[in-house]
Amino acid sequence: MITLDNVSKTYGSGPGAVQALKDIDLQVPKGTIHGVIGLSGAGKSTLIRCVNLLERPSAGRVLIDGEDLTAMDAAALRQARHQCGMIFQHFNLLTNRTVYDNVALPLELMGQSRQTIRERVLPLLEMTGLADKTKQYPAQLSGGQKQRVAIARALASRPKVLLCDEATSALDPQTTASILTLLQEINRQLGLTILLITHEMEVVKTICHRVGLISDGRLVEDADVGDFFTAPGTQLGREFLNDFLKLEAPQALIERLEPEPSETTHPVVRLTFSGDSVSTPLISRLAREHGIDVSILQAKVESIQGRTLGLMIAELMGSASQTRQALTTLESFDLQVEVMGHVQRTD
Amino acid sequence: MSSALIDLVWQSTLETLYMVAVAGILSALAGVPLGVLLYVTRPRQILAQPAVNTILGIVTNVGRSVPFIILLVAIIPFTRMIVGSSIGTNAAAVPLTIAAIPFVARLVEGALNEVSPGLVEAAQSMGATPMQIIMKVLLPEARGGIINGLTITIVALVSYSAMAGAVGGGGLGDLGIRYGYNRFNPTVMLITVVVLVVMVQLFQSLGDYLVRKSDHK
């Protein structure tokens, strides 16, 4: 379990000081995968590096399994770091060590015997699918294989926590998927707590249980992944989601949108369905009960952590009173309705 | 070429090799740790000691600025203290070593600077001590660069050792000056230069081979 208690980080001092993190409170319960997403420069990297004190927070406490890392002396901190594996965007493997010796490194640092090292390293290489690569050097491996070595290395000291610093950002989509699958297996098999930072919603969607959104050094959202993808609580969250789902209204439509309705306009709505509401035969009911036509401009269905998420942009075509009633009906369903604007009728 | 001359060239070659070997080994033993210190005491490094770093940097620069021919005579009292004499091959090896130490140190520092900071960070995240980072990360990862630096040092020592004649150190350079230049014997001059060229080529090839063999970048 990881706890960040009111963590702040300031670089420099005086008027030129830059506050990279502001009063971050974050809890990652044991055995969960927690993602932190944000734009570049938002403070993601600083956040994860504060967890194992690669960056020392300017204020606040960092606790792993109840032990306060910020209160430890150098020797105790080194011990605590054995409990906390880390993988990196650029893998950070030692180029002059073989795959086997790279994975053995943390155990060598702990002073383990050659025998113990062997007994730990070989199963890890087996698990990460590298059993036939033990004698190769990192330069001979692909990016995905390098990250597998890094994962095996991070697990060698049998940590309770795994920190992933943009671990898939340098990989192609297929390799990313295989690395995420591996992380998920590790999480399930070893009960490992994983904190990962990323700028890719795909990563969050695929493996995270919870997600935090960081903006300008502040944690502005912290929610279950299902909730975040169905109802983000901030504008930035909605932008991330829209960007991920690529459900933007066509540019031509946006240019025609008017903020206020009139007798000669139709409303354009963005509907977000989740859970049971996805299966409701909504469009045909609107047509039947209110006598309106529904023109679907964009639609998409995603499956996120077992929950189905549907998005749709539609124009409700009917008289002003019909569409008003239709909107009321829509709002009575278990879905989110956002009136994006109004367009002039063309009929 | 008379057999006396062949003997002379052979003798001088051995003297050069001896001076280069002694100075090369001793300067590596002192220069590598000094180079490591220069690197790890830099600001924001694993053993950041800005004051120590500045002092070491100045000392190293002073060592590198003194022209070798001046160093050779300037440290004669020190040389006499170490080897008991201020003339001869051993006496020449002392200033050669002293001159090469800061040279090695700067090259080692440069080689360490090429190691990705991410590797040091990864080792820190595994709970490595500064000493472990030096021994298991920095030095092994910089191995190719360090061997390259030592090769450059050896070649420079071959060249510097030509001045050893000034303190009666002998060697090929001395032979070239005394027999080739002072006695107007261009053959001797040519032979010494050819032997030196071959020697440098061999050292460089050996160094390149070791770099290739030890580096898996």
State how far residue A285 is from chain B, nearest Cα, in angstroms.
Answer: 58
pLDDT over threshold 70, residue A275: no
Q: Summarize pLDDT for B185-216 with one digit per residue, the tens.
A: 889 999 999 999 999 999 999 999 999 999 88
- Does A79 contact chain B (CB < 8 Å)? yes
Look up the CATH number of domain A2-234: 3.40.50.300
pLDDT score for A104: 98
Residue of A nearest to B125 (CA): A81
State how far residue B54 is from chain A, nearest Cα, in angstroms.
Answer: 22
Average pLDDT over residues A198-216: 94
- The answer as to whether B13 is a domain residue is no
Tokens of A297: 């401009």
Which DSSP helix (H) or strand (E) runs through A270? strand A265-274
Nearest beta carbon to residue A92 from set B121, B132, B216: B121
Rounded to two decimals, the pTM is: 0.87
pLDDT score for A57: 96
Average pLDDT over residues A199-213: 94
- The answer as to whether B180 is a domain residue is no
User: Do B108 and B31 contact (CB within 8 A), yes or no?
Assistant: yes
Closest C-alpha to A91, from A175, A161, A157, A158? A175
In terms of residue numbers, what domain contains B102? 18-168
Average pLDDT over residues B31-52: 97
Give me the residues paired with residue A299 across strands. Answer: A312
Question: Whole-angstrom Cα distance, residue B49 to residue A245?
Answer: 51
Question: Whole-angstrom Cα distance, residue A304 to residue B8?
Answer: 85
* CATH code of the domain covering residue B121: 1.10.3720.10
Task: Say which CATH architecture domain A246-344 belongs to.
Answer: 2-Layer Sandwich (3.30)
pLDDT score for B127: 96
- The answer as to whether B11 is a domain residue is no
ipTM of the complex, rounded to two decimals: 0.89
Nearest beta carbon to residue B127 from set A90, A109, A137: A109
Measured in whole angstroms, the distance separating CA A336 from the mean position of its chain's CA atoms is 22
pLDDT score for A276: 65
Contact A86 B125 (CB under 8 A): yes
Neighbours of A64 (CB within 10 A): 21
pLDDT score for A223: 94
Question: What's the per-residue H, E or C state across chain B?
Answer: CCHHHHHHHHHHHHHHHHHHHHHHHHHHHHHHHHHHHHHHCCCCCCCCCHHHHHHHHHHHHHHHHCCHHHHHHHCHHHHHHHHCCCCCHHHHHHHHHHHHHHHHHHHHHHHHHCCCHHHHHHHHHCCCCHHHHHHHHHHHHCHHHHHHHHHHHHHHHHHHHHHHHHHCCCCHHHHHHHHHHHCCCHHHHHHHHHHHHHHHHHHHHHHHHHHHHHCCC
pLDDT over threshold 70, residue A279: no
Give me the residues paired with residue B204 across strands. Answer: none
Instruction: List chain B residues with CB under 8 Å of A106.
Output: 126-127
Give chain B's contact residues with A (Cβ, < 8 Å): 116, 118-119, 121-129, 132, 136-137, 140-141, 143, 214-217
- Does A110 contact chain B (CB < 8 Å)? yes
Average pLDDT over residues B132-146: 97
pLDDT over threshold 80, residue B8: yes
Nearest beta carbon to residue B126 from set A93, A137, A157: A157
Domain layout of chain A by residue ranges:
2-234, 246-344
Nearest beta carbon to residue B122 from set A82, A88, A137: A88
Closest C-alpha to B38, from B117, B126, B150, B113? B113
- The answer as to whether B129 is a domain residue is yes
Look over chain A and give the mean of its residue pLDDT values, rounded to a whole number. 91
Confidence of residue A274 (pLDDT cuts 50, 70, 90): confident
Tokens of B10: 């052979």
Instruction: List chain B residues with CB under 8 Å of A52.
Output: 125
- The answer as to whether B151 is a domain residue is yes
Interface A-B, measured as beta-carbon pairs within 8 A, has a size of 71
Furthest-apart CA atoms within chain A: distance in Å: 82
Instruction: List chain B residues with CB under 8 Å of A90.
Output: 116, 118
Q: Is A126 exposed, middle or buried (0-12, 13-18, 19+ CB in 10 A)?
A: exposed
State how far residue A106 is from chain B, nearest Cα, in angstroms.
Answer: 6
Confidence of residue B63 (pLDDT cuts 50, 70, 90): very high
What's the length of chain B? 217
- Does A39 contact chain B (CB < 8 Å)? no
Confidence of residue A24 (pLDDT cuts 50, 70, 90): very high
Q: For residue A273, give every residue at least 6 positions away whose Cβ sits within 8 Å of its Cβ, in sequence order, or none.
A: A280, A282, A308, A309, A310, A311, A312, A335
Average pLDDT over residues A281-298: 86
What's the length of chain A? 347
Side-chain half-sphere exposure of A103, counting CA atoms within 13 A:
32
pLDDT score for A62: 97
The string of DSSP letters for A68-107 reads EGGG--HHHHHHHHTTEEEEETT----TTS-HHHHHHHHH
Neighbours of B68 (CB within 10 A): 19
- Split into its structural domains, chain B has a count of 1
- Does A92 contact chain B (CB < 8 Å)? yes
- The answer as to whether B44 is a domain residue is yes
Confidence of residue A277 (pLDDT cuts 50, 70, 90): low
pLDDT over threshold 90, residue B165: no
